[in-house]
């Protein structure tokens, strides 16, 4: 699916490479089919051994426009790379609702987050032999108050040419009000964009992909909605995967990942791109 003149070129990014072998296999499969053009990697995930890094790099060689980014992970059930990181729940990061609440109440120290993000960036660079093309966050942690300050400090110091993910939408107010989750991301992203711009970092001009993962949904219909109004260079977040025991033990998103993979691997997806005047590139 090469980009052609007159088509809107967008990013379709599969999050969570490194969370489990099954997720990794599904993401590589879609990259090799030309159905993704970005993935972001969890350097604190349990499935990021040398063999998994090598396999991703081989897959990307078949799709040279595919970007590889760092999926900064700062929430449970994962553990920090840095010593003395705070706050923790036992030896794990806080669950994301607690982390967001602590940031809103101004109870976090940006230096802990700056140092941890720098450590994850360094781990990515060591594994892949280069800095990431972009940097985003698991469970959108890069947007959280105070966390975003440490995140932006670390990226601007360590990977200043990488772009960062903001999660605000370019949609009329009536459409934005339809999803509470997406509205929260819109609000958090406004401040994030200001901070990132002031630090000289570039970011995606539009975002889509948030939906209620706990409810069975027509993913094809959702994708059509995501593409409507998405600008050139906009990003759609997705979470394809194959369910395995490692994933079940770490994340509530299970069967929905297989539904997403099936949709992207099937014939309906390229038809939707063509009908929408969109290309991955």
pLDDT digits (tens, 9 = 90+) for 217-258: 899 999 999 999 899 999 999 999 999 999 999 999 999 999
Nearest to 196, CA basis, from 237, 135, 120, 117? 135
Contact at 8 Å (CB) between 279 and 1?
yes
**Number of C-beta neighbours around residue 110 at 10 A:** 17
Residues 82-116: pLDDT tens digits? 999 999 999 999 999 999 999 999 999 999 999 99
**pLDDT reported for residue 180:** 63
Q: Is the pLDDT of residue 60 over 80?
A: yes
The distance of Cα 279 from the centroid of its chain, to the nearest Å, equals: 19
Q: Is the pTM of this model over 0.85?
A: yes
Q: Is the pLDDT of residue 51 over 50?
A: yes
Average pLDDT of every residue of the chain = 93
Q: Is the pLDDT of residue 2 over 60?
A: no
**pLDDT reported for residue 3:** 42
Phi, psi of 116 (to 5 degrees): -70, -40
pLDDT confidence bin for 1, thresholds 50/70/90: very low
CATH number 3.30.390.30 given to 10-269: no
Q: Is the pLDDT of residue 171 over 80?
A: no
- Is the N-terminal amide bond of 87 cis, ω within 30° of 0? yes
């Amino acid at each position: 699916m090469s980009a052609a003149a007159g088509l809107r070129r967008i990013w379709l990014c599969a999050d969570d490479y490194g969370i489990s072998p099954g997720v990794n296999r599904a993401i590589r499969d879609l990259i090799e089919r030309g159905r993704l053009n970005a993935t972001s990697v969890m350097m604190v995930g349990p499935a990021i051994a040398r063999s998994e890094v090598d396999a991703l790099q081989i897959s990307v060689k078949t799709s040279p426009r595919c970007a590889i980014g760092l999926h900064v992970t700062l929430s449970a059930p994962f553990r920090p790379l840095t010593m003395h990181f705070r706050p923790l729940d036992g030896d794990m990061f806080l669950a994301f609702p607690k982390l967001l609440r602590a940031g809103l109440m101004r109870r976090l120290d940006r230096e802990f987050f700056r140092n941890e993000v720098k450590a994850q960036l360094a781990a990515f660079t060591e594994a892949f032999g280069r800095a990431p093309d972009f940097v985003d966050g698991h469970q959108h942690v890069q947007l959280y108050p105070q966390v975003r300050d440490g995140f932006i400090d670390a990226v601007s110091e360590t990977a200043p040419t990488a772009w960062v993910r903001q999660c605000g939408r370019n949609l009329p107010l009536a459409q934005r009000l339809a999803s509470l989750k997406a509205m929260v991301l819109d609000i958090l992203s406004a401040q994030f964009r200001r901070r990132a711009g002031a630090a000289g970092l570039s970011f995606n001009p539009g975002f889509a992909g948030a939906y209620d993962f706990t409810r069975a949904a027509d993913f094809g219909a959702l994708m059509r909605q995501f593409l409507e109004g998405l600008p050139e260079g906009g990003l759609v977040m997705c979470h394809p995967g194959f369910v395995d025991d490692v994933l079940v033990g770490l994340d509530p998103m299970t069967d929905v990942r297989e539904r997403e993979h099936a949709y992207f691997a099937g014939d309906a997806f390229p038809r939707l791109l063509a009908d929408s005047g969109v290309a991955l590139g």
